[in-house]
Amino acid sequence: MHPSSTFLILFAIRHLTSPRSPRVIAEMSRFLSAYHILNVAVIASYPFFSLWARQEYPNATSMLEGWEKQTLATLGATAAVKFVRRSNIDAYVSDMFMYSKSGILLLSWMMDQRIFSWYCVMYAMLFLYVRKPEYKGPSKIEWLNPATLRRRVLEPDDEEKNVAWLVEFYASWSPPCVNLEPTFADLSCKYTSADLKFAKFDLMRWPNTGAEYGINVSGTSKQLPTLILFEKGKETVRVPHVYKDGRVSRARLRSSDLVAAFGLDARRKKSLLKSALAKGE
């Protein structure tokens, strides 16, 4: 069994046997999308081409087996490292699709150029016509446009002036933005309170707002997604951080990294204490 498959199975067993299993089953159904099924099908087609190559080029069988063992060992090591460092299971699965297909492409080039061409065509079709699905699980995220961003976040009235906003500026075409969706949704469910709200802003619909905040939305941008914490209408924390000389720091988007960067645990404790004191009056 492929190492990445073992990790996925263990992950599924651990979550499906938890008390939250009905909710988890509903959330895991997103892995039955066309994106996931077709990528698995393309990867699973390799053994058939490998068998054909062994019959077509019997004298090269031992060499092919050596290449396959090296590729499998590399993928196994990569799968283990990526699993430990994963930001969430969605990003992990996407990464393993990419690494597995890259390994297959290299093997197919060594195997037969006709097979290599066939995989190039399949990969191109997947890239052009099959998008990774957006996360549809539970969340407490609000959606902002330029008007609501200014009215509720930048120029709040007396009722919301003490509310902090954690806003994700995103682009739907960006893989890091899509991969962050389940993490950001989970954080919103866990940390939303009367004093902290979570929101998203679509930079593809309103790119001028991105320019106002110095967010590069080009295909090579390292600033997607950008998360900004606003307090009393002012930016206080940004991930990834942008230095004065224009350099962009490497964004760490694991749940634990974001909790630490924005002090979410401390904010939740403060909100709970404030609520308890208000009830005790």
Rounded to whole angstroms, how far apart are CA atoms 38 and 130? 9
CA 255 to chain centre: 11
Taking the CB of residue 155, how many other CB atoms lie within 10 A of it?
A: 11
Q: What is the pLDDT of residues 10-23, one digit of tens each?
A: 555 555 555 554 55
Which residue in the block uniquely carries the two structure tokens 């990294």?
A: 257
Contact 205, 172 (CB under 8 A): no
Domains of the chain listed by start with CATH number:
3-129 (no CATH), 141-280 (3.40.30.10)
Predicted confidence at residue 90, as pLDDT, reads 84
**Angle at alpha carbon of residue 214, lines to 156 and 190, rounded to 5°:** 55
Structure confidence by residue, pLDDT tens digits, 120-172 = 999 999 988 988 888 888 899 999 999 999 999 999 887 888 899 999 999 98
Portion of the chain with pLDDT greater than 90, in percent = 53
Task: Give the pLDDT confidence score for residue 21 in this predicted structure.
Answer: 47
Nearest CA to 107 out of 72, 82, 141, 132 is that of 72
pLDDT of 3 > 60? The answer is no
Which residues, 6 or more positions from 102, have their beta carbon under 8 angstroms from its beta carbon? none
Tell me the per-residue pLDDT of 182-222, one tens digit each, with 9 for 90 and over: 999 999 999 999 899 999 999 999 999 988 999 988 888 88
Mean pLDDT of the chain: 86
If you count DSSP H runs as helices and E runs as strands, how many of each does the chain have, helices first?
12, 5
